[in-house]
Structure 1
Amino acid sequence: MATKMRSRAMRLIFSAGLLVLAFVSGSHACAICFSLVVITPGQKLDSADQAVLAIHSVDPNWLRIVAVVKGNVTVDNVIEQSTLSAPPGEPRSSRGKPLLLIRSDLSENWTSLGEIGVEYADWLRQLAASNRGGGVSPARIWPQPLAVSDLTDGEWLERVRLVARYLEDPEPLAAEIAFGEVARAPHSARRTLRRQLDAATIARWIDDPELAPRRAAYTMLLGIAGGPQDALEIERRIDEALLAQDATNLSAMLVADLELRGSSRLQWLKATFFADRKRTLPEIDAALLALSVLGEADATVPREKVIETYRYFIAVRKPMAGFVAMELARWEAWDATADYVDIIRSKAVKDPAGQFAILSYLKSSPIAVEQAASVPAAE
């Protein structure tokens, strides 16, 4: 009887798994998903074929190029105001600063990214040159988890080092560019900035209400640059957030906490977020996202420890087991195969998306493939 049940379960896995892969490969991400993606000024600069700094001339209908950032363009050439894509009244500078303009080879129009001093031209050239079209990283970028990186690991290391000293620079566009790149960078690249970061300065940024939209990224930077006192403050804020059931900045605080405390803190995380039935879904998701960021970095908290924690999550939160299936598959963590086979057999996961994720994992698992091949078909 047990053999027949296992055979039926494995056949279900592989027949449904084929449908899962077909469904995923032929589908498009929904508009709600894409609404979460923030295109940074750095990404816009990367995608442009031409980028220049240009300032209005005596004739308001023309702008003169004062510096070339990238592309086949010449200094002192002029750009007609009518070819500039911008809201009415923009982008003429009230302070007389140049505008950072970009365009593609297929377009006749230029787009303004904002004002920036001409003294930043060389930095912008270095930034543009750091993208050499090396490839696509599969890493989950946080706090924009749906973003895709088009830089190699080496290019990311170069880029974050270029922008780090411009975080909260007096020049607003330089600060915006720097923050956007650090925020979307893989955590492994951010970790290399430890010696460039000042913990006290970052702590002030975190407490600045005007920088609230940047708080999550700066919290993670504090986990890289901070010390024991910062760890105590972060843990105090985590306790406050849990008491209020506020998951707003929880993922970032957990990343910082684990960076400062190390793998020994995982036991607390498991007990607090996964074993405790009073935790809300946003709180659980925040803990999983923090583990994802740390697992991708595979440093202070080794990926194998994250995988062990995921398997604990699967065991104690069976209906949610699909939440971590695709990540485990990407990391080729096939030791969870037996866990997922048991979950499929028990029908513990009711959510179709969770079932799809688990079946896709099992379809890719060499252990599941071997087991399916060795089980005789039921009569």
Structure 2
Amino acid sequence: MVLAVPVAGANQLRMVEVVKGEDAVGDIIADPPTDLDPTAAPGSDPYLLVRDPLASQWTSLGTIRAEYANWLRQLVATVFVKGDRPRPTWPSNMQTSSTLSYAGWRQRIALVLPYLENSDPLAARIAWGELARAPYATVDVARSRIDAAAVESWLDDPKLASRHPAYTLLLGFVGGSADVARLEQHIEAAWSSHDATNLPAMIGADLELRGPSRVGWVEAMYFADRSRTMPEIEAALLALNVHGDANRTVPRQRVIQAYRAFIRERPPMAGFVAQQLADWDYWDAATEYAALLKSNTIADPASEFAVVNYLQRAASANAALE
């Protein structure tokens, strides 16, 4: 990873900073990426270039001021610590990190917080991207490090709509009572209109600010209400899953209770929470799941597979104990 600027009179780039790797300042890139701005001239902000160590072709991430080189070096220096298990990230909950430990992620988040919505567009995009993919439990490092008013202003900016899920999550860690009221107004409006846009982050942030006392509301308004849509139900489950995985502000046991309520309220969807319960080594739902399979209540093949997998894992766990 390097910063490089155009060479006057040639279709080449000269390295002005080395962020990571064995390249040297002054080295010439004779075959630069083809998507660079052809009007860029010497004196422009350098390009941030990356490449696979085994490949020769560079890829440009955009331009960034040279003064950010040391920040980028610190960012790429955060490393994986053997023995730490990376966890799912927000908001997709599908990605995992194979390179960073919890300690590394906390260090990384602390590094990017001051650069959120920085005046340099690429620095701001990098900072937001790291926040957005960070494991939920590590974002608590933001407490007392960032002003809630700044986060509120970003959430009020429609131009930053794509970044709102990450910033909503952040507000849950840095906000106060006024933000609780703000969040719950938005959640109530979303509930009334059946709008699931940004709903997982809003519920997740509300739970962070309100704690386990808010879980009962989620059960009543999303699990027990038969008018809720599938995206709304999935949003509520995702918010609870992230908290259950973190096992901090909302204890995992309280999330498990909510999942048991979900199984009772919506038996055909019971498989939606099977994998999470299994990942948490919770096997007391085996009797309910076995009964649901026997009665053919779960019609969806994917949900049925999840339940079968849960029961198989439960059997293995019980056999190991015996």
**Normalized against structure 1, the TM-score is what?**
0.80
2:71 to 105, 123, 133: 123
1:78 to 19, 24, 28: 28
1:62 to 12, 34, 40: 12
1:203 to 149, 152, 164: 152
Please state how far the C-alpha of 1:227 moved relative to its aligned partner: 0.7
Match of 1:281 in 2: 230
Structure-1 separation of matches of 2:293 and 2:44:
65
Q: Does 1:114 align with 2:48?
A: no
Do 1:223 and 1:256's aligned partners in 2 also have CA atoms closer than 8 Å? yes
Q: Does 1:100 align with 2:56?
A: no
Match of 1:352 in 2: 301
Tell me the SS of whatever aligns to 1:100.
Answer: strand
Tell me the SS of whatever aligns to 2:59.
Answer: strand
Q: Deviations over 1:197-223 (max 9, x none)?
A: 211110110010110100111111111
Tell me the SS of whatever aligns to 1:334.
Answer: coil
Tell me the SS of whatever aligns to 2:188.
Answer: helix
Do 1:322 and 1:355's aligned partners in 2 also have CA atoms closer than 8 Å? yes
Structure-2 separation of matches of 1:299 and 1:359:
29
Do 2:86 and 2:101's aligned partners in 1 also have CA atoms closer than 8 Å? no
Do 1:203 and 1:222's aligned partners in 2 also have CA atoms closer than 8 Å? yes
Please state how far the C-alpha of 1:90 moved relative to its aligned partner: 5.0
Match of 1:140 in 2: 88
Letter of the 2:14 counterpart: R
Q: Does 1:318 align with 2:267?
A: yes
Please state how far the C-alpha of 1:366 moved relative to its aligned partner: 4.1
Higher relative contact order (CA 8 A, sep 6+): 1
Tell me the SS of whatever aligns to 1:64.
Answer: strand
Q: Deviations over 1:296-326 (max 9, x none)?
A: 2111101111111111101111100010111
Task: After TM superposition, list the pairs within 5 Å mapping 1:178-327 onto structure 2.
Answer: 178-327=127-276
Structure-2 separation of matches of 1:116 and 1:132:
26
Tell me the SS of whatever aligns to 1:147.
Answer: coil
Structure-2 separation of matches of 1:160 and 1:59:
41
Tell me, which stretches of 5 or more residues in structure 2 are unaligned? none
Tell me, which stretches of 5 or more residues in structure 1 are unaligned? 1-50, 374-379
Please state how far the C-alpha of 1:73 moved relative to its aligned partner: 0.8
Please state how far the C-alpha of 1:91 moved relative to its aligned partner: 8.4
Do 2:86 and 2:102's aligned partners in 1 also have CA atoms closer than 8 Å? no
- CA, structure 1 residues 201+88, in 2 after alignment: closer, same or farther (shift >3 Å)? closer
Tell me the SS of whatever aligns to 1:335.
Answer: coil
Tell me the SS of whatever aligns to 2:19.
Answer: strand
- CA, structure 1 residues 213+59, in 2 after alignment: closer, same or farther (shift >3 Å)? same
Please state how far the C-alpha of 1:140 moved relative to its aligned partner: 2.3
Do 1:86 and 1:112's aligned partners in 2 also have CA atoms closer than 8 Å? no
Number of aligned residue pairs: 320
Tell me the SS of whatever aligns to 1:348.
Answer: coil
Q: CA RMSD in A?
A: 2.0
Do 2:286 and 2:314's aligned partners in 1 also have CA atoms closer than 8 Å? yes
Structure-2 separation of matches of 1:219 and 1:153:
21
Structure-1 separation of matches of 2:39 and 2:109:
28
Please state how far the C-alpha of 1:131 moved relative to its aligned partner: 2.9
Please state how far the C-alpha of 1:158 moved relative to its aligned partner: 1.0
- CA, structure 1 residues 74+330, in 2 after alignment: closer, same or farther (shift >3 Å)? same
Which of structures 1 and 2 has the bigger CA Rg? 1
Deviating 4+ runs (over 6 angstroms): none
Please state how far the C-alpha of 1:175 moved relative to its aligned partner: 0.6
Letter of the 1:278 counterpart: S
- CA, structure 1 residues 95+341, in 2 after alignment: closer, same or farther (shift >3 Å)? farther
